[in-house]
Amino acid sequence: MSSLTITTIQTNLYWENKQANLLVLEDRLRNIEEKTEIVVLPEMFSTGFSMRPKDLAETMEGETVNWMKETAQKYRVVLTGSVIIEENEKYYNRMIWMLPNGQFAYYDKRHLFAFAGEDQQYTAGNNRLIAQVKGWKINLQVCYDLRFPVWARQQTVLPQTEDESSKSPEYDLLIYVANWPERRSHAWKTLLCARAIENQCYVVGVNRVGKDGNDIYHSGNSMVIDPLGEVLYHMADEEDTFTITLQKDQLENVRTKFPFWKDGDGFVISSL
């Protein structure tokens, strides 16, 4: 069974200042001492959670995506986090999954935070993205998606030409990147644990710290949680770079000992 090493970067963000944020994040990456395979950045890591996409959006050939491409190659890691992207005259809160070889995939945030007007400025995505690294299947989601369990709900997969006994869970790890305010941090922490328990998977949640341009304080509370809902890592209020190795055999042991995932209801998620 394989292991997977992940580094989370919980940092303050300079409000709508791409150059300053990229410089800080470059420094954080440079100072990672452990060998790691995936580095997770917060939601809108180059700007903060801004509702000014007309002024801040980039294309997929823009500065921030190119920085991700160069940085992933330089440090030989998968780099992920969300960026404000313009495409076909629409704006997206796009989580990019950048490989060291320059190839990438992306997930557009499905649930837009109407309470802050995100739904008025951005276009919602319709499709989930489950990436793969070293045999691990990884479900990528963004911030407010956390409040909607159906969108993350574990499904079972039956390989072609195989019988029912060959069914397996759809994914092994769920990653959330966020700009989640401190005033609702109890919900953030509780729901991250709930997603791990109900989906019998590891969960990584990476949030920012500090005040944003709207004077909203973010306490971080980035977490790593195991498939039983036990917290393996939690950091509040402080900037922190943390590296952890997840073990596939521990995940499989939980799923074998407690095969609750087999009893789940079958369903189809609509893209509409």
Which of 18, 37, 118, 143 is flagged as catalytic? 143
Cα Rg of the chain (Å, integer): 18
- 143 in catalytic set: yes
Q: How far apart are CA 44 and CA 60, in angstroms?
A: 14
Given 18, 69, 109, 189, which residue is catalytic?
Answer: 109
CA-to-CA separations, 48 to 25, 170, 181, 203, in angstroms, rounded: 13, 32, 12, 23
Q: Find out whether 149 and 182 touch, Cβ atoms under 8 Å.
A: no
- Measured in whole angstroms, the distance separating CA 176 from the mean position of its chain's CA atoms is 3
Contact 179, 218 (CB under 8 A): yes
3-state DSSP helix/strand/coil % of the chain, to nearest 5: 30, 35, 40
Q: Which of 37, 43, 118, 182 is catalytic?
A: 43
What is the three-class DSSP state of 27?
helix
Its sign, for the CA torsion 13, 18, 23, 28, is positive
Active site residue 74: no
Q: Is 198 an annotated catalytic residue?
A: no
Catalytic (active-site) positions:
43, 109, 143
